[in-house]
Structure 1
Amino acid sequence: MSRLLTSVGAMSLVLFLLVLSLPVGPQAQAMLGVAGLAAMLVIDKVAHRGPGRIAFLVVGLALVVRYMVWRMTATLPPASDVTNHVASLVVLSAELFCFLTMLLGLFAVARPMDRPRARQLAPDEAPMIDVFVPSYNESLDLVAATLAAAKAIRYPADKLKVHLLDDGGTDQRCNSPDPLKAAAARQRREDFSRMAAELGVTYHARAYNEHAKAGNLNAALMKTDGDLVVVFDADHAPSREFLEETVGHFADDPRLFLVQTPHFFLNPDPIERNLATFATMPSENEMFYGIVQKGLDNWNAAFFCGSAAVLRRSALEEVGGFSGVSITEDCETALDLHSRGWRSLYVDRPMIAGLQPETFASFIGQRSRWCRGMIQILILKNPLMRPGLSIAQRICYLSSSLSWLFPIPRAIFLVAPLLFLFLDMQIYRATMEEFFSYTMVYMAALLLMQGHLYGRVRWPLISELYEYVQSVHLLPAVWSVLTNPRKPKFDVTDKGISVENDYLSELSTPYYVIFAVLLAAVGVSIMRWSAEPEARDLILVIGLWNLLNLVVAGLALGVVSERRERRRMPRLAQTSHPAVIAVEGVAVPAFVTDVSGGGLKLRPVGDRATRVMPGQKATLRVRVETDGDETEVLQVSVDVANSGVDGEGRFVGLRFADLSPARFRLIAALVYADIDAIRTSRLHRRVRRFLPIFLVKLLGWSATATARGVSYLLRHRTGDKKTATDKSLAPASGKPAAAASAAAPAPFDMTLFSDEATDARASAQGLAPAS
């Protein structure tokens, strides 16, 4: 196979040089472009991997290089025209930067790796493991669900210890000069330490909040001694199989320091929520976890992503723990260890379910931290100059960090057509024939390459949308790091916020201003096209460029128009899981059909189903798996929130009534223990779109988003939002677990989980009343 790839590579190089040497001119370029695009389409259909992949990329890259040569030699104003020449060079520099990052990215993902499953270890082979769950400002119910899921991981119990690292309850915060903050921190420490103890988790609160998350993790390293360290963010609950799919790799490679797994999110990010694409479109992070990390893994450059990862303690100790020079301690730590000869590995199997920022403002805050941190790494720990890295690793780390400078070229591409349309600056000289022969072929080649590499995980122009909405606010962040790389501080991203009303994001104003300017530029281009017949070709070219910017800006208006979303935790559909709900001394068999952190939906069966009514207090009993074939019955207090009848029969909505450990163990068992359904939904959204049809759809999508953005502007005051913890998640008594568990549950009839339950399941599925 390697010999075949070498032969294909040599032939592709010859083809690449041949394409570059062909005559330059609009007509020859048009013929070459059509032939090249046709070849790419054929290769994409018949040979998507291996040699075909190499040939496809070579043809596409040749078309892109021909465009860049033409762009540098035939489109610039003369140097004697200083103003226009300088402006044109700035735009060309932005294009060359994008070309460079594209080349680096192509190298990184050229051969994505699919790893075999980890070897399963016998109990006596299993290493000691410490699970770290760092927390700062997350709510108790959010953290407790993750702790319960971590405790439920399948692994020898005597070799697994779970630790809550609570940076919200440090001595520093408990002794704050602000009495309200001090009281809140002391209450947090009391509540979190109690819940940790009841869940069998070790609670840690350090003295000072130093060095943010890296400092928190390092403080725990000093107090623990496991061979391996697992890190889960406070809102990243793992499935029970997590260690089975990761730990075995360490036994086979003594120089392995990291096994990273994907992050999968239960809720949409603000862009997906506000544009209503979460159920149908691949999530933004799918390209990184589905393609990029697999490509980096081929070059031993897959890096730590801060959570859902296993690390070797001895490797961490060699570099003094988790790195903290930058505010992205995860990637920085991996860079430090790769430079010392340690190896990493990526397992493309989602085994955690997490939460994304709910509001656009918190989304921008998170991305600002990532952006600033990666640029810090680029400046302070330049991978090109870092001793110990291979050439491939240098290229991969350079690609990962350099790409975060995207706000700079994105801003240039937004402003450039406006300079011509409003100020008549000649930044791009081309006839319509040249535009179609070179620029359109170039853009088509880029779209085909993107579709070939990322088609199932990233749809056309979606990257442009994400970059645009971030660039508006990340551009100042980039500048601040470039001017003072040690200035950025770690900011924690808010999670678990509910949005009770539609509202305009407090960050929305620039997007409306930009849209208005771009819309005015469309009017100017139409007027100039009518008034200047001798320059119509150039006006049309620049006008189309501006129009593309307007389409993306219209989508952004829908992004900053926040949709109402009261549920703080998403509900997950479940296959019917048997349960019993006891109301006023009557036990009613039922099945759980969906569940969230705040409550459940049941379908009661039998002639006693109508006894369950809204407003009642009840006890829910569910049998769940523990270890192996063993099971236990969990009992939780619930409030009946609503009931009714739909197309599938009678249903009952329940709210958890307390913060008991049983509640969180139940959530861990029903939501996180087996996330095959989550993985299935992830794959279901990985669908390639036919490019011409999708581009038409995108125009309609932009028009709809624009209309909604305008309506929000007219109906909602900017920043007028009401966010609160979902009421369904709060305990009825407002007391933590110790008080809630004081009342003993009613006696439980175990026969309801025997053959009667099987009969009830059949009755429920047939919608017939049970006898």
Structure 2
Amino acid sequence: MIYLTPLQSSLVPILLILGLWLVLPAVIDRERTWQRAVLYGGCILFALRYAWWRGTETLAPVGLTVDFIASGSLFLIELAALVGSMSAFVLMMRTRNRSGEAEANLGWWRDRPAPPKIAVLIATYNEELEVLERTIVGAKALRYTNKEIVVLDDGRRDWLRDFCAQQDVRYLRRPDNKGSKAGNINHALGVLNSDPEPPEFFAVLDADFVPHRGFLSRSLALFHDPSVGLVQTPQHFFNPDPIQHNLGLAKSYPDEQRYFFDHMQPSRDGWGMAICCGTSSICRMEAVRELGGFPTDSVTEDFMLTMALQARGWRTVYLNEALTEGLAPEGLKEYVSQRARWCLGLMQIARSRLGPFTREKIRLRERWSVLDSSLYWLTSFAFRIAALVFPLLYWFFNITVVDAGVPEVISHFGVYYAWVLLTTTLLSPGMIVPIFHDVTQLVGAIPITRAAVTGLLRPKGHPFSVTAKGGDRSRIVVQWGIMRPFLVLWGLTALGLTLGIFFDRFAYYDAGDGKSVVLFWTIYNLIVLTVTIIACVELPRRERHVADAPERTFVQLPDGASVTTWLSELTRTTARLRGLTLPEGARVRIELREVGPVDGYVLRTSRDTTLVQLLPEAEEREALIVRLHAEDNTPGVTRSQPGRVIRDFGLRLSRIGPRR
């Protein structure tokens, strides 16, 4: 008879889960609801088991003591985060793919004398011409014929008015900025509704989002159902977000929003709870007219539009196809402020007439939709902060906030965590990599938590904040304001650990086997904080389309001869050739697929690579924009491979300076 130690016994369930990890990928079908329900149901069961154990066996004795207050506070914060997670687990039990429906209903309007008229609204405030040009040229290249491009300029810029005239697109401005983006769109809808032929539908594009050529026709197909008021499509990005870029993971780790758009939104759609996310959406004019325009009660007018439409019986559906691509925030400060604004907007909706506890006639699932999103913003980020702060109470104040040994932690938390990773890996492969996932949430945790509390206590009176895009990104910038709290936490954590290990503080309070738990917890926090601090150092950027793949091309040399070589990287202004070395300043002509021959000259060479400065004419420049941003492809990294993530991060750490 074999006897196992408590530690060995606690590892048995983990080993069983690892065994399932090897077997289930061959048999699982991600779109079968019953299979998803079994896996996510397991997540809920293990979460409840863990929560019961935490509440009954790991807290300090009940009483008016610092120990009980500290351990109870952490438990309540963690319990709130677990409730949010369990809500998400239920939501993820379903998923829906509407590509087949779109394919079957392409051209449902063919029996009509003309296709429905669509206005493509490009909302802008302070974006540069380089950003706007991409979007306007891409919108003009849409395959759909009966469309009108309308630029809504809340910056009232004469140069943009003149550029729109050159591009033969409609330009609108208003005398004030009341209602921010929602007010800008409402002003445009009022003008369009007074036209001799008002559009039946309108698409909304942010100034930095370029539509793919099939965006309108594919999305419009879902309006064959007369109850559909809005169709939302994903928001994918042709450049890495700040965390991807600063950690050197631009080619190996998905952007932070990929999980939401590729996995969460299809699941929301499976429950009839898909939400409008603003850009990359199409609305039925009749439905929005019935509302009296976009609601202006929240700085996230898009989510609130969904709630208002559903309250009147109009459905929001989701087409999970890459039909647009945008410019992710390039700076960490903009990245964080954008997410804090989203959080604030959700809290405003939660406190509004369309919130989860309103007396309005709103269906239960709409209430759940807002509640689920509010729980995410309110609890997830607060728990990230608490997980860093509470271990310090042990090191400096002799307070054990989790009184448990290693076998118990493995048996309860370890099993729960392993099952969640198994489920996520099977149903949303390549989305979660430990440590890096923590960093993506931790970077903005403090301002997001502040916004959550502010939005709940004081939902009104907050100005709309536009996320800045473009600008000079050629220098290393240290975001000290964002980094400073993490530097302080890193210093306190390292100091506490040092005192505990080398000055006998570790045995000051006899926590038994629990000492190993707090030691592991502290070391993990140091690793996460270190990576977070690195993410706060912004590296220089150059334009790069992350979906590019090397291709063969013809190059006409200065002497008139032509050679075939590899085009390894292409932007609107440069081409990188591999396998060819030319002197600096040499004039060349490159044959670019879907563009034609483009003149240029050699900027610099290194080893077997030549960087060419392109000199495109106006038509060639627009063709380049269409090729780079408007063709049907899926930009960005769709899933990660942990080995490659570790390799790329290792290269980032080994780099003394930024790559050129």
Question: Normalization by structure 2: what TM-score?
Answer: 0.86
Q: Give the Cα separation in 2 of the matches to 1:546 and 1:643.
A: 48
Q: CA deviation at 1:661?
A: 5.0
Task: Report the secondary structure of 1:223's partner residue.
Answer: helix
Q: Give the Cα separation in 2 of the matches to 1:330 and 1:76.
A: 42
**Aligned equivalent of 1:254, options 219, 222, 226:** 226
Does the 8 Å contact 2:248/2:649 carry over to 1? no
> CA 1:256 to 1:77, structure 2 compared with 1: closer, same or farther past 3 Å?
same
Q: Give the Cα separation in 2 of the matches to 1:40 and 1:446.
A: 13
Q: Which moved more, 1:198-207 or 1:74-83?
A: 74-83
Q: Which residue of the partner structure matches residue 19 of structure 1?
A: none
Does the 8 Å contact 1:498/1:568 carry over to 2? no
Q: Which residue of the partner structure matches residue 614 of structure 1?
A: 585
Q: Which amino acid aligns with 1:323?
A: P
Indicate yes or no: 2:17 matched with 1:44.
no
Q: Give the Cα separation in 2 of the matches to 1:286 and 1:572.
A: 19
**Aligned equivalent of 1:467, options 420, 424, 441:** 441
Q: Which residue of the partner structure matches residue 207 of structure 1?
A: 175
How far does the alpha carbon of each residue in 1:643-699 deviate from its partner, in whole angstroms, 9 at most, with x for none? 658648xx5612447xx75355223332123233x45x644xx2564xxx89xx86x
Does the 8 Å contact 1:554/1:703 carry over to 2? no
**Aligned equivalent of 2:50, options 67, 83, 89:** 67
Does the 8 Å contact 2:500/2:507 carry over to 1? no
Q: CA deviation at 1:499?
A: 2.4
Q: Give the Cα separation in 2 of the matches to 1:602 and 1:703.
A: 27
Q: Which amino acid aligns with 1:167?
A: D
Q: Which residue of the partner structure matches residue 229 of structure 1?
A: 202
Q: Give the Cα separation in 2 of the matches to 1:578 and 1:308.
A: 36
Q: Give the Cα separation in 2 of the matches to 1:575 and 1:387.
A: 57
Does the 8 Å contact 2:59/2:71 carry over to 1? yes
Indicate yes or no: 2:643 matched with 1:675.
no
Does the 8 Å contact 2:398/2:509 carry over to 1? no
Q: Which residue of the partner structure matches residue 183 of structure 1?
A: none
Does the 8 Å contact 1:374/1:401 carry over to 2? yes
- Pairwise mapping of residues 511-660 of structure 1 onto structure 2 (< 5 A)? 511-527=486-502, 528=504, 531-532=507-508, 534-567=510-543, 572-573=548-549, 575=551, 593=567, 594-600=569-575, 614=585, 624=594, 640=601, 642=603, 647=608, 653-656=612-615
> CA 1:539 to 1:600, structure 2 compared with 1: closer, same or farther past 3 Å?
same
CA RMSD of aligned residues (A): 3.7
Task: Report the secondary structure of 1:464's partner residue.
Answer: helix
> CA 1:375 to 1:211, structure 2 compared with 1: closer, same or farther past 3 Å?
same
> CA 1:77 to 1:568, structure 2 compared with 1: closer, same or farther past 3 Å?
same
**Structure 1 stretches lacking a partner, 5+ long:** 1-24, 170-187, 626-632, 717-771
Task: Report the secondary structure of 1:258's partner residue.
Answer: strand
Q: Which moved more, 1:25-34 or 1:79-88?
A: 25-34
How far does the alpha carbon of each residue in 1:378-403 deviate from its partner, in whole angstroms, 9 at most, with x for none? 22231343644432332233212321
Does the 8 Å contact 1:151/1:162 carry over to 2? yes
Task: Report the secondary structure of 1:499's partner residue.
Answer: coil
Question: Normalization by structure 1: what TM-score?
Answer: 0.75
How far does the alpha carbon of each residue in 1:584-637 deviate from its partner, in whole angstroms, 9 at most, with x for none? 9x89899994432334457999xxx98x97286x99997958xxxxxxx8x98x
Indicate yes or no: 2:282 matched with 1:310.
yes
**Aligned equivalent of 1:417, options 391, 401, 425:** 391
Q: Give the Cα separation in 2 of the matches to 1:505 and 1:532.
A: 38
Q: Which residue of the partner structure matches residue 89 of structure 1?
A: 72
Q: CA deviation at 1:568?
A: 8.0
- Pairwise mapping of residues 368-379 of structure 1 onto structure 2 (< 5 A)? 368-379=340-351
Q: Which moved more, 1:220-229 or 1:372-381?
A: 372-381
How far does the alpha carbon of each residue in 1:423-466 deviate from its partner, in whole angstroms, 9 at most, with x for none? 11232222333233323333333333333343322323433211
**Aligned equivalent of 2:477, options 493, 503, 508:** 503
Q: Which residue of the partner structure matches residue 152 of structure 2?
A: 165
How far does the alpha carbon of each residue in 1:359-415 deviate from its partner, in whole angstroms, 9 at most, with x for none? 111211211211211221122231343644432332233212321113322222221
Q: Give the Cα separation in 2 of the matches to 1:640 and 1:525.
A: 62
Q: Which amino acid aligns with 1:500?
A: S
> CA 1:526 to 1:81, structure 2 compared with 1: closer, same or farther past 3 Å?
farther
Task: Report the secondary structure of 2:480's partner residue.
Answer: coil
Q: Which residue of the partner structure matches residue 195 of structure 2?
A: none
**Aligned equivalent of 1:269, options 213, 222, 241:** 241
Task: Report the secondary structure of 2:444's partner residue.
Answer: helix
Task: Report the secondary structure of 1:395's partner residue.
Answer: helix
Q: Which amino acid aligns with 1:110?
A: M
Q: Give the Cα separation in 2 of the matches to 1:590 and 1:202.
A: 43
**Aligned equivalent of 1:338, options 288, 307, 310:** 310
Q: Which moved more, 1:386-395 or 1:122-131?
A: 386-395
Q: CA deviation at 1:639?
A: 5.8
Task: Report the secondary structure of 2:144's partner residue.
Answer: coil
> CA 1:571 to 1:592, structure 2 compared with 1: closer, same or farther past 3 Å?
farther
Q: Which residue of the partner structure matches residue 458 of structure 1?
A: 432
Does the 8 Å contact 2:152/2:184 carry over to 1? yes
Q: Which moved more, 1:464-473 or 1:121-130?
A: 121-130
Q: Give the Cα separation in 1 of the matches to 2:360 and 2:67.
A: 43
Q: Which amino acid aligns with 1:134?
A: A
Task: Report the secondary structure of 2:219's partner residue.
Answer: coil
Does the 8 Å contact 1:410/1:467 carry over to 2? yes
> CA 1:71 to 1:61, structure 2 compared with 1: closer, same or farther past 3 Å?
same
> CA 1:359 to 1:386, structure 2 compared with 1: closer, same or farther past 3 Å?
farther
Q: CA deviation at 1:473?
A: 3.1
Q: Which has the higher contact order (CA 8 A, sep 6+)?
A: 2
Q: Which amino acid aligns with 1:237?
A: V
How far does the alpha carbon of each residue in 1:7-36 deviate from its partner, in whole angstroms, 9 at most, with x for none? xxxxxxxxxxxxxxxxxx979984884587
Task: Report the secondary structure of 1:365's partner residue.
Answer: helix
Task: Report the secondary structure of 1:120's partner residue.
Answer: coil
| Sequence identity (%) | 26
**Aligned equivalent of 1:133, options 122, 139, 143:** 122
- Structure number with greater Rg is 1
**Structure 2 stretches lacking a partner, 5+ long:** 193-197
